[in-house]
Amino acid sequence: MSDAKTNDINTNKSLFGTDNNPSNIVPSKLSLDSKIKFRCHPKVSCFTACCGNINIILTPFDILRIRKELNLPADEFLLRFTTPVFLEKTDMPGVKLHLDENGRCPFVTEKGCTIYQHRPTTCRYYPVGMSFFHGAGEEGATAEEFYFLVQEEHCKGHNEDQVMTIRDWRKDQGIDESDAMNREWMELVMRRKSFGQQATLSESAQKIFFMASTDLDKFRNFVMSDSFKDTYELDQTDMAELEKDDVALMKFSFKYLASSLFGTQDLKIKEDKIKERSAKMNMTRDEAEQRAEKVYEELVKDKEALLAEKKAN
Ligand code: SF4
Ligand code: SF4
């Protein structure tokens, strides 16, 4: 298939399935036991058609897995292969794969995907989508999951004879492992999404979210810093593991984000730091009260002066 032809295709691979173009979604809710008729292989006439003109959001595990395969540090991988983006319908910044000048994925060749064993979660799911709703942004609320099929004109895999359950599709594509790794992070994003426009993340919270989600090298420096160790109750053995194990560090980053963005109890702040913070807050409150009192007194004085002036005239 020529690039000119593939450039006409607007592919809808999406990590957050509900944002797919609804006209391409087969309108039935599927479960793990539902069957789909689909097969993708190098001999299909549309081979690699879906690897262009797409938004492929990368999860923290996608980034880790691909850059390990390419043997790149996080900052170099981000610079060469990604573009910053806000995760769908949230104010959380993340990254998507940076397409080349022809709108094609940087990892596709005419022979197929050059990082196939390490490809992103989104690529593994397609053409299955998963909806993952988190109830009202509450901690502990159960997320509802169901699947659906995306059927796009250009994708000829739907004409193939292979039939399999969604459960087997997940196994076949290595989705179970990806999801197990990404789940806590996805839950954070979906929880944030459920807040809608009601609240906005501060700039520093956005920066922390971006760093923890995309650059584990930088996040490790942050976690190993004296100020981090001074602030949180940390187990020495866990810290030694975080220093050398990227997956452990990634999982720790999800807990850190849950506790710093949503106030969960995943990480404990040291007692003296809590006291220090509340003293600071009290001090700020006292200062604000004193300032308000002073302004009020000045207003009263001004008013009295005006009245006295009026009387004198
Ligand atoms: S990562 Fe691989 S499967 Fe995914 S779009 Fe790129 S070439 Fe295609
Ligand atoms: S069959 Fe579908 S998923 Fe496979 S290459 Fe063609 S467009 Fe992509």
User: Do residue 84 and residue 230 come from a single domain?
Assistant: no
The token duo for 172 is 């076949």
**So what's the pLDDT on residue 4?**
31
Same-domain pairing of 155 and 246: no
Distance from C-alpha of 273 to C-alpha of 292, rounded to nearest angstrom: 28
Q: Which residue has the higher pLDDT, 18 or 257?
A: 257
Looking at residue 3, what is its pLDDT? Answer: 31
Number of folded domains that form the chain: 3
Query: Residues 255-282: what's their mean pLDDT?
Result: 82
Pocket test for ligand 1, best of 56, 82, 109, 122 (most atoms within 8 A of CB): 56
Distance CA 258, CA 265 (A): 8
Q: In the predicted model, what is the mean pLDDT of the chain? A: 86
Q: Do 225 and 131 share a structural domain?
A: no
- Cβ neighbours of 210 (radius 10 Å): 17
Domain housing 220: 203-262
Task: Tell me the residue type at 74.
Answer: A
Confidence (pTM):
0.81
Q: How far apart are CA 296 and CA 136, in angstroms?
A: 42
Give the pLDDT score at 112: 96
Per-residue pLDDT at 290? 75
Mean pLDDT (whole number) for 4-33 = 63
**What's the CA gap between 184 and 161, in Å, rounded?**
36
Give the mean pLDDT of 77-81. Answer: 97
> Do 30 and 179 fall into the same domain?
yes
Mean pLDDT of the 232-251 span: 95
Decide if pLDDT at 228 tops 80.
yes
Same domain, residue pair 158 and 278: no
Say if residue 247 is in the same domain as residue 303.
Answer: no
* Segments in the chain forming alpha helices (H): 3-7, 60-70, 74-81, 121-125, 166-173, 175-194, 203-214, 216-223, 226-231, 236-244, 246-262, 271-312
**Same domain (yes/no): 173, 224:** no
Under 8 Å between Cβ of 275 and 281? no
pLDDT at 96 over 50: yes
Question: Above 70 in pLDDT, residue 140?
Answer: no
My answer on whether 290 and 172 are in the same domain is no
Is there a single domain that holds both residue 188 and residue 50? yes
Q: Which of 242, 214, 239 is nearest to 61 (CA)?
A: 214
Q: How confident is the model at residue 196 (pLDDT cuts 50, 70, 90)?
A: low
User: What is the distance in A from the centroid of ligand 2 to the CA of 57?
Assistant: 19
Which atom of ligand 1 is closest in space to residue 52's alpha carbon? 5
Whose Cα sits closest to atom 4 in ligand 2?
Answer: 40
| pLDDT score of 275 | 73
| Average pLDDT of the segment spanning 166-188 | 95
Q: Residue range 51-61: average pLDDT?
A: 94
CA of 17 to the centre of ligand 1 (A): 17
Looking at the fold, whether 190 and 229 belong to one and the same domain comes out as: no
First to last CA, the chain: 93
